[in-house]
Amino acid sequence: MPVLCAQDSLNTVVATNGDGIFSVLRKEGMDVAKYYEAFISLNKDRLQDGSSLVVGTEYLLPEAPDSFKNMGSFIALPSGDETPIFGTELETLKKKDSSLRNTVYYLVSNHMVQPAPNGKKGNGNSEVELTKLIARKLIQSGAKVYLFRESLDKSLELNELVTIVNKKYLMNNGSYQRLLIINSKADSDQAEMEVNIYHEEGSKDGKRLSESIIKTLGKNNISIKSMGAYASVFTDRQNILFAKNMLPSLIYIEFGSKLVDKSSLKVTSNKKNLADFITNGIFTDYSKLDFQDND
């Protein structure tokens, strides 16, 4: 049974019409089977007939570090304020498996509106939607996810991002940890986009993650020999310094209407499909590492 902490440190919820213990726990992103008995133990004096909630009554919630609310955190830059990634969507999240247990992912998206080549507004929030879809899949398989979005002060953001990520990295020491930066310069109306993925030179972990994602984006039709055409190393000095200052291995995924690199891989612009491809690549990368460690 989950550990019950001092009551004054626990969160509470007020029962509304139609609420039961199951629905309250699901709304909080908790595993019902795991925390049902703990909820009853905490609130035995406030329950009707032993297990029924009373509308308008405040109930204590069990300490649940593995709840979807606690496993997915959005961190605003440059303030560092932390809130759950998912709110009303929590009850729609279902645990799929524990294949990514003891893994931590940092997802950075650019929410600035990008001007499209044709003069229309670009899909400025596409990265936010994409990273939330990726976060959803990762969390449902047991990963801890931190999601970041940029504001206007680029230099301040980068410094704060490095500081916050490195601090989280040390807190989660011993876990498999990766940082993914996603940027889209594509027009929201197009059916296909081009993609390039970059990693730090000499980073075996970054290179392997890049290639795993490229393999899934290319529907497994990319040969090992041609992999280098789509997974490139950072050449810009600022990006090189940024990567070197980060403790977790990182990759940069860039989507665009027409990228400079002629070897750009063409992929679907459907966000759900993109999220599936990227997370499948993440799963593959971790499973390979896990297999090698146990070999």
Q: Where are the domains of the chain?
A: 7-60, 68-293
Structure tokens at 110: 């650019």
| pLDDT, position 110 | 67
Instruction: Tell whether the model's pLDDT for residue 66 goes beyond 80.
Output: yes
| pLDDT, position 35 | 96
Instruction: Tell whether the model's pLDDT for residue 161 goes beyond 70.
Output: yes
- Evaluate whether 214 touches 222 at the Cβ level (below 8 Å): yes
CATH number of 7-60: 3.10.350
Q: How confident is the model at residue 295 (pLDDT cuts 50, 70, 90)?
A: very low
Higher pLDDT, 85 or 224: 85
Instruction: Tell whether the model's pLDDT for residue 3 goes beyond 70.
Output: no
Instruction: Tell whether the model's pLDDT for residue 186 goes beyond 80.
Output: no
Q: How confident is the model at residue 268 (pLDDT cuts 50, 70, 90)?
A: confident
Instruction: Tell whether the model's pLDDT for residue 7 goes beyond 50.
Output: no
Higher pLDDT, 121 or 21: 21
% of the chain surpassing 90 pLDDT: 49
Structure tokens at 13: 């919820």
| pLDDT, position 4 | 43
pTM of the predicted model as reported, rounded to 2 decimal places: 0.83
Q: How confident is the model at residue 247 (pLDDT cuts 50, 70, 90)?
A: very high
Q: What span, in angstroms and rounded, lies between the C-alpha atoms of 107 and 132?
A: 9
How would DSSP label each residue in 14-61?
E--TT--HHHHHHHTT--HHHHHHHHHHHHTTT-BTTTB--TT-EEEP
Q: What span, in angstroms and rounded, lies between the C-alpha atoms of 161 and 66?
A: 24
Instruction: Tell whether the model's pLDDT for residue 227 goes beyond 70.
Output: no
- Evaluate whether 2 touches 70 at the Cβ level (below 8 Å): no
Q: What span, in angstroms and rounded, lies between the C-alpha atoms of 120 and 54?
A: 52
CB atoms within 10 A of CB 138: 24
Q: What span, in angstroms and rounded, lies between the C-alpha atoms of 112 and 33?
A: 41
| pLDDT, position 116 | 33
| pLDDT, position 120 | 39
Higher pLDDT, 227 or 137: 137
| pLDDT, position 135 | 95
Mean pLDDT, residues 218-239: 71
**Cα separations in angstroms, 235 against 39, 161, 181, 232, 248:** 54, 21, 16, 9, 19
CATH superfamily of 68-293: Zn-dependent exopeptidases (3.40.630.40)
